């Protein structure tokens, strides 16, 4: 454990954290320049990229002094090594006192914020530091689950909306245009799918003609057929 005398700890928004990691997963950059970061995250200036991303990544050991990704960065981008990489970052960055106060993956946000503020930072900065600390302590790849849930929800929503719009348009057209023939409610296109279980009790004394009559009547009433 390397004890820290500097009261400033890394602050990277969660959205940027996952955006950078996803980019590293797709293609590991040779050097992480301010231009690379400003383009990737749509930041306003190179100074913002340096102070808000590159310096924190150096502090965590993800970039070396020449802004080149380290071996730890390579582990960090791999799903099966992500949790272990987060543990290494935690040991490299945060003091023993903080880690002893929060030894588990679950961190009380308010208590952690108070610790950072007592060590000389303001409330806004403390909140950002706590957010990254909690993200690292969890060691979980959350963006995959969130992306999948959003994708599934969006697909279901789009299908439902498309179906509702089509049905609404059909009804509106019929109401506004009296020359159109009425909707055929018996059409298979709009017929609801029903599942019916029938139990038929036929007397052993029934003749074949009577049995035939029973089934012909069923076909007429349930399927609109004449039984012939």
What is the reported pTM?
A: 0.61
113 and 31 belong to one structural domain = yes
184 and 102 belong to one structural domain = no
Tens place of pLDDT for every residue, the chain, 228 residues?
A: 334 444 689 999 999 999 999 999 999 999 999 999 999 999 999 999 999 999 999 999 999 999 999 999 999 999 999 999 999 999 999 999 999 999 998 999 999 999 999 998 999 999 999 999 999 999 999 755 445 555 555 666 656 666 555 555 665 555 556 555 555 555 455 556 666 666 676 777 778 777 788 777 777 776 665 544
Find the domain containing 203 and state its range: 194-228
The total domain count for the chain is 3
135 and 22 belong to one structural domain = yes
The answer as to whether 219 is a domain residue is yes
55 and 78 belong to one structural domain = yes
63 and 160 belong to one structural domain = no
N-terminal to C-terminal alpha carbon distance within the chain: 89
Q: DSSP characters for 94-136?
A: S-HHHHHHS-SS---HHHHHHHHHHTT--HHHHHHHHHHHHHH
The answer as to whether 136 is a domain residue is yes
52 and 64 belong to one structural domain = yes
Domain boundary residue among 117, 140, 163? 140
């Amino acid at each position: 454990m390397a004890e820290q005398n500097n009261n400033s700890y890394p602050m990277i928004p969660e959205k940027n954290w996952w955006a950078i990691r996803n980019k590293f997963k797709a293609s590991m950059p040779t050097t992480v320049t301010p231009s690379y970061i400003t383009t990737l995250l749509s930041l306003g200036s190179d100074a913002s990229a340096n102070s808000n991303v590159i310096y924190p990544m150096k502090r965590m050991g993800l970039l070396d002094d020449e802004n080149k990704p380290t071996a730890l960065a390579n582990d960090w981008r791999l799903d099966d090594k992500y949790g272990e990489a987060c543990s290494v970052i935690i040991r490299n960055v945060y003091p023993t006192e903080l880690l002893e106060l929060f030894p588990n993956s679950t961190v009380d946000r308010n208590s952690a914020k108070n610790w950072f503020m007592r060590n000389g930072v303001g409330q806004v900065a403390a909140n950002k530091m706590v957010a990254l600390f909690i993200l690292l302590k969890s060691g979980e790849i959350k963006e995959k689950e969130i992306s999948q849930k959003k994708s599934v929800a969006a697909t279901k929503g789009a299908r439902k909306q498309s179906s509702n719009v089509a049905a609404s348009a059909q009804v509106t057209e019929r109401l506004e245009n009296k020359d159109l023939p009425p909707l055929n409610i018996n059409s298979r296109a709009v017929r609801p799918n029903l599942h019916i279980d029938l139990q038929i009790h036929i007397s052993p004394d029934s003749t074949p003609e009577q049995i035939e009559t029973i089934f012909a009547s069923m076909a007429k009433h349930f399927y609109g057929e004449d039984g012939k």
